Amino acid sequence: MHRQFYRTKNRVATSAAAVKRYNRRAMSRLASLQFDYPLQRLNTFGIACKAHAFLPVDSVEVLRAMLADPALRDLPRLVLGGGSNLLLTGDFPGLVLHLCNKGIERAGEKADSVLVRCAAGERWDDLVQWTLSHGLGGLENLSLIPGSVGASPIQNIGAYGAELADCFHSLRAFDLVSGEVLKLDRDACRFGYRDSIFKHELRERAVILSVTFALPKSWHANLRYTELARELENGGLTQPTPQQVSDAVIAIRTRKLPDPEAIGNAGSFFKNPVVDVVTRDALLAAHPAMVSFPQPDGTFKLAAGWLIDQCGWKGKSIGPAGVYEKQALVLVNRGGASGQQILALASAIQDDVQQRFGVRLEAEPVIV
């Protein structure tokens, strides 16, 4: 008998009945839909607010079923991973899609690298530790960054002289407009400093499902960042392993950055501003101690933490919204702060820095 094949959500079924069964199963996934869902534990700032509707997403089928549901498909949407680069300024009046798919696996080899694919819902640092325990280096400088793997390409996470783009191979993302799964390689993602296509053309359009990393077979420690090199030297490690580099990064981070479990925060609240050489030289003439770093394209990155520190904000608060004592670039929730209070503090800092240095700081987290 001739067998007819039907293309279903993302696989092939062999009968119309199978298609029907399949679609019913996909719809039934929406049984996990909830309303008035509390988000406080799902954003690292610990802002207490709610989502009108909340849907855990562990597969493409759930997203397709959501798009097929007339009650859901036109709601405003917020894609949530670890909630670590997010400031919620009030209840979210739409649908929160919470990525919770899991799985990390080797996905092949290239001549000079090993490919590792990771589901978007995994915690970033769990991925880093998985790679290290499998003898793979490349992500160690990015140890302990809070958040999920799916969120990591959006702002091209970076720390201690490395960034995600260095070891990125490709990703799969669900297109909320076409309902198709897209595959994007590194060029297509258009990574920049804390930036990617997911903050621009694909903002609110792409749901990242999995990320594949290319980890070097021949690994060299990246010790460009002086503080990291010094930390290893002080520990007597002249030929560190990837795990030892990771341990050193964790030691530095733990000393300088607040643990979101203990005190609500979203890491650096501002990007380090990038200015041209004329602006930098004029600022340096007026403030000889100013910290700046030359960029490959001839521009200069200023240390926003230093600028904020100079304005006297370090350790200060407005109500329950504060500036972290050990790192002026990090805003913290000292307990019960609303997103609006954090924003008010951010805006007072932006105004002060602009008045004193003529530079406008740009917020790093997504503000909703």
Name the one range near ligand EPU by CB under 6 A: 15-23, 33-41, 266-274, 334-342.
266-274
In the list 44, 113, 268, 292, the residue contacting ligand EPU (rule: CB under 6 A) is 268
Binding mask 128-167 for ligand EPU (x = CB under 6 A): -------------------------------xx-------
Binding mask 225-254 for ligand EPU (x = CB under 6 A): x-----------------------------
Whether 364 is catalytic: yes
Q: DSSP secondary-structure letter at 269?
A: S
Name the one range near ligand EPU by CB under 6 A: 62-70, 111-119, 325-333, 337-345.
325-333
Q: Determine the Cα–Cα distance for residues 44 and 87; give it in Å rounded to an integer.
A: 9
In the list 314, 331, 338, 361, the residue contacting ligand EPU (rule: CB under 6 A) is 314
The answer to whether 363 touches 270, Cβ cutoff 8 Å, is: yes
Q: Determine the Cα–Cα distance for residues 338 and 49; give it in Å rounded to an integer.
A: 9
CB atoms inside a 10 Å sphere around CB 16: 10
As given in the structure block, the two tokens for residue 66 are: 């959501």
292 binds ligand EPU (CB under 6 A): no
Whether 194 is catalytic: yes
Q: DSSP secondary-structure letter at 123?
A: B
Interface positions, 328-367, toward ligand EPU (CB under 6 A):
328-329, 364
Q: Determine the Cα–Cα distance for residues 9 and 21; give it in Å rounded to an integer.
A: 12
Name the one range near ligand EPU by CB under 6 A: 4-12, 108-116, 215-223, 324-332.
324-332
**Quick one: 268 or 338, whose CB is closer to ligand EPU?**
268
Q: DSSP secondary-structure letter at 363?
A: B
Bin 103: left if φ > 0, else alpha if -120 < ψ < 50, else beta: left
The answer to whether 51 touches 39, Cβ cutoff 8 Å, is: yes
Write down the least CB distance from residue 349 to ligand EPU, Å: 12
Write down the least CB distance from residue 107 to ligand EPU, Å: 27
The answer to whether 309 touches 303, Cβ cutoff 8 Å, is: no
Interface positions, 180-219, toward ligand EPU (CB under 6 A):
none
The answer to whether 95 touches 123, Cβ cutoff 8 Å, is: no
Q: Determine the Cα–Cα distance for residues 217 and 312; give it in Å rounded to an integer.
A: 46
Strand, helix or coil for residue 8: coil
Alpha carbons within 13 A on the beta-carbon side of 85: 27
Annotated active-site residue in 148, 246, 268, 338: 268
303 binds ligand EPU (CB under 6 A): yes
Write down the least CB distance from residue 152 to ligand EPU, Å: 11
Binding site for ligand EPU (CB under 6 A): 159-160, 225, 257, 267-268, 271-272, 291, 303, 305-306, 309, 314, 327-329, 364
Catalytic residues: 194, 268, 364
